[in-house]
Structure 1
Amino acid sequence: MNQETDKKTSGDARLQAEFDLLADEYHTVHKENIAITGEAPEYFSEYKIADLATWVNRMNVPSATILDFGSGIGNSLPYFRKHFPASKINCADVSSRSIEIAQSRFPGNEEYLLIDRSIPLPTASQDVVFSACVFHHIPHEEHLHWLAELRRVTKPGGVLAIYEHNPLNPLTLQAVNTCPLDVNAHLIRGGVMRRRARKSGWASAQVAYKVFFPAALGKLRPLEQHLEWLGLGAQYRMLARKNA
């Protein structure tokens, strides 16, 4: 192997070891870290899936097969089942321990895939590829590789939906900087993620900002759909399509 391949392999091993170690305490630590928002982890897990389902239905995008890239301990699974009841869900993660926990927490018919340097799925097999707060854990120099790999497994006309923390939001930045789960994380601006998606061959990449109001201001949340242009939301959604 050349030096670049050695470096990538080493990075993959580090991520696997890190998340295998954190898997058992992930839910508890995450819950404590976001307590300031007044919401439990389940709220944030569902809002992403519900948001994706709303967009998929509005755009009439096929969703028979969905890949959850970086599925972790399965936090999104109950909401995929709720909002995409007819879809086949593939859960892929670098951490075998996280996969074990997900299967124990939410037994079902989902397919689980252990990621190495590629995703063990056929080319052009997925209608929708979803990733929630994963890319800030991946070394930035590897983003193009994984974006291209996600494009490989996506069907022509399929969609990529990446949800990430917004480093332009000061409360998000504080939460990430003080969270043991994010000790090696490096946040990505929405515009940077959009450019990387385009460079990897994705089309129509667009960013919408999300999560502006904590639970205490929950009555204002209906306004959030009108604020997606404002780059101060706690998170953002980057959508892109694979040309048919």
Structure 2
Amino acid sequence: MDAEFDAYVETYADQHSKSIRLSGESPEYFADYKIRELARLARLWGMERPDILDFGSGMGNSLPAFRKYFPGNPVTAADVSAASLEAAVEIHGGEEAQLVIADRIIPVRSGRFDLVFTACVFHHIPEEEHVDWLADIRRVTRRGGRLVIFEHNPFNPLTQHAVRNCPFDENAVLITPRQMRARLRRAGWEQPKTDFHVFFPGALAKLRPLEAYLRWCGIGGQYACYGVAPE
């Protein structure tokens, strides 16, 4: 898999901000909400100090939120782009995170992680490789561990607009929640489920407490699909 994001390291932040300007929020807002939701799920699953893998970590945009919601927890950042991993250290520090280059496989021992997080990564990976990568993620996850995948919801028109206008999403192929659950099952994950997120733009931020009651509603701008590694 080519490290196409090597070419976007210098301009990533600016292009990302421009592509989501209709949301009225910054990239930091979206990184924070995802890790906040991941922490909620971890508590729900009884995980007090999980060993975490951030698969497709890119330039480390999630590192500040990991420090905020999982203070002191071990985090491994894996990405195909060596340039992005180097930028993560330069921008965010990242001294507490182990950095690994995931080219064809994730180069860590089997059964290591309690919790795997990946955000808006799979729509950049060729579809024919999805099941293989999901299976390798399962390999490095302990029995009973969890995977949480955040992806753009192709049924949301504002999400479609953001993807169309983002240069590094030029080759993106959005994945429906149903397709993602099916691929999780094919890769050996159990009990795949979906929650939906991002219903209100910044101008309607006062309504966001309602989003906790709308996770069932399939029109959210993004969704989280999660599964359990078999015992």
Question: What is aligned with 1:230?
Answer: 217
Separation (CA, whole Å) in 1 of partners of 2:143 and 2:47: 11
Q: State the shift of 1:59 in Å.
A: 2.2
Q: State the shift of 1:109 in Å.
A: 1.9
Q: Any idea what SS the aligned residue of 1:158 has?
A: strand
Equivalent of 1:164 in 151, 176, 189 = 151
The reply on whether 1:90 has 2:76 as its aligned counterpart is yes
Question: What is aligned with 2:106?
Answer: 119
Task: Answer yes or no: is the 8 Å Cα contact 1:62–1:158 preserved in 2.
Answer: no
**Moved segments of 4+, more than 4 Å:** none
Equivalent of 1:67 in 43, 53, 56 = 53
Equivalent of 1:200 in 187, 196, 204 = 187
Q: State the shift of 1:62 in Å.
A: 5.0
Give the unaligned 5+ runs of structure 2: none
The reply on whether 1:152 has 2:139 as its aligned counterpart is yes
Separation (CA, whole Å) in 1 of partners of 2:15 and 2:164: 14
CA deviations over 1:182-240 (Å, ceiling 9, x no partner)? 00000000111011101110011100111000011111111111111111000000011
Give the unaligned 5+ runs of structure 1: 1-11
Q: Which amino acid aligns with 1:31?
A: S
CA deviations over 1:131-158 (Å, ceiling 9, x no partner)? 0000000011110000000000000110
Q: Which amino acid aligns with 2:24?
A: G
Separation (CA, whole Å) in 2 of partners of 1:161 and 1:73: 19
Aligned identity (percent) is: 48
**Greater mean deviation of Cα atoms: 58-67 or 170-179:** 58-67
Separation (CA, whole Å) in 1 of partners of 2:152 and 2:173: 10
Q: Any idea what SS the aligned residue of 2:9 has?
A: helix
Q: Which amino acid aligns with 1:150?
A: I
Structure 1 or 2: more helix by fraction: 1
Q: Structure 2 vs 1, CA of residues 192 and 162 (structure 1 numbering), >3 Å: closer, same or farther?
A: same
Question: What is aligned with 2:167?
Answer: 180
Q: Any idea what SS the aligned residue of 1:231 has?
A: coil
The reply on whether 1:110 has 2:106 as its aligned counterpart is no
- For this pair of structures, how many residues does the alignment match? 230
Separation (CA, whole Å) in 1 of partners of 2:87 and 2:186: 35
Task: Answer yes or no: is the 8 Å Cα contact 1:209–1:232 preserved in 2.
Answer: yes
Task: Answer yes or no: is the 8 Å Cα contact 1:46–1:79 preserved in 2.
Answer: yes
CA deviations over 1:141-183 (Å, ceiling 9, x no partner)? 1100000000000001100000000000011011101110100
TM-score (norm: length of structure 2): 0.97
Equivalent of 1:39 in 6, 17, 25 = 25
The reply on whether 1:216 has 2:216 as its aligned counterpart is no
The reply on whether 1:190 has 2:177 as its aligned counterpart is yes
TM-score (norm: length of structure 1): 0.92
Task: Answer yes or no: is the 8 Å Cα contact 1:166–1:234 preserved in 2.
Answer: yes
